[in-house]
Amino acid sequence: MELDRVAPELRGRLRMASAGGLDRPWRRRLIRTLLAVLPGSRVQGVSIRRLPGGDRGVRLYRPAVVRANGALLWIHGGGLVIGRAVQNDRLCGEMARELGIVVVSAEYRKAPEDPFPAALDDCHAAWAWLQREAAGLGVEASRVVIGGESAGGGLAAALVQRLHDEGGGQPAAQLLFCPMLDDRTAARRDLDPIDHFVWNNRLNRFGWAAYLELEPGSPVVPPYAVPARRDDLAGLPPAWIGVGDIELFHGEGLAYAERLRAAGVAVELDVVPGAPHGFEVWAPDTGIARQHTARARAWLVRVLDAAAPA
């Protein structure tokens, strides 16, 4: 892909954002080791600590000034093969501070060592923990939004679907940054030559194949493994979907938004011109990223207000 398609203020950050080499075991081990010792970011006005919640642990972001009893359950990205909650300290911490709410970020297992449904089960366990501990955290259990970025956005969408079918307590909404929703994108070899910045279709194919233990685009996949494969989207909670217009997931994000709307689900779609995949995480100080996350936070305030008990 040509660099001139990228918004000017993001061009200088692209080299540091590359996810190349994840199909090599040594590269994944190196990244996982580095993330395991990453000290994390400090966010002024927010305490950050790790707790033994769920099956794999959670990272809790609590603002010094709590202004609402809602919460966000967050799921980090990493192509389903790498990543830890610590990598989103800034994004989650700023969400907590600016909205005055508790944010809980889930840890989960990664493919190919732990394929589907391991990651989704771990996220489900984090949801169950947050529901049980809600009162002690000062959270109204009915005012919890599930959100995530990239692979975490896809896991968030899948978790929302699973919770819908299980019944019981439901999330108030779903907040999906550049979500990884559809393995059939990875099966499209015509996308390979485009070589999208940050996350291209060759990496996408590896991530989906590792997670599914199937070739991407296979005729049948397990329920909840691929959110875009679900036939009936009716009854799901409101959604915010943010994507860049030059990223690999642009098409599948728009398609999922259209299908949700057709099923009667309220959707706010935020498409950012000239934005590669995940720019809100690797270029958070740019104006384009700040405005994108500010729009997400404004939407989150509205849906949490709507979910307040009468």
Q: What is the CATH number of the domain that holds 42?
A: 3.40.50.1820
Domain that holds residue 277: 3-306
Query: Tokens at residue 225, please?
Result: 């493994």
Helices 89-99 and 287-306 meet at what angle, rounded to 10? 50
Task: Compute the C-alpha angle 58/60/65, nearest 5°.
Answer: 165
3-class secondary-structure state, position 68: coil
Q: How far apart, in whole angstroms, are the C-alpha atoms of residue 96 and residue 45?
A: 9
Total domains present in the chain: 1
Per-residue model confidence (pLDDT) at position 310: 66
In this predicted structure, the answer to whether residue 62 has a pLDDT above a threshold of 90 is yes
Q: How far apart, in whole angstroms, are the C-alpha atoms of residue 269 and residue 210?
A: 29
Per-residue pLDDT, averaged over 246-264, amounts to 98
The contacts of residue 84 (CB under 8 Å, 6+ apart) are 32, 35, 36, 38, 76, 78, 107
Global pTM? 0.97
In this predicted structure, the answer to whether residue 4 has a pLDDT above a threshold of 70 is yes
Instruction: Say if residue 171 is preceded by a cis peptide, omega within 30 of 0.
Output: no
The contacts of residue 11 (CB under 8 Å, 6+ apart) are 3
More confident residue, 183 or 38: 183
Per-residue pLDDT, averaged over 185-191, amounts to 97
Per-residue pLDDT, averaged over 205-229, amounts to 97
Detail the DSSP E strand segments found in 171-235: 173-177
Q: Report residue 301 CA to chain centroid gap.
A: 18
Three-state SS across 92-128?
HHHHHHHHCCEEEEECCCCCCCCCCCHHHHHHHHHHH
Q: Report residue 139 CA to chain centroid gap.
A: 21
H or E element, residue 259: helix 250-262
Nearest to 289, CA basis, from 278, 305, 302, 299: 278
Q: Would you give the end-to-end CA distance of the chain in angstroms? A: 51
Q: What percent of the chain clears pLDDT 90, i.e. is strictly above it?
A: 88
Q: Which long-range contacts (CB under 8 A, 24 or more apart) does 201-204 make?
A: 201/248, 202/23, 203/19, 203/20, 203/22, 203/23, 203/79, 204/79, 204/180, 204/248
Query: Tokens at residue 296, please?
Result: 């997400």
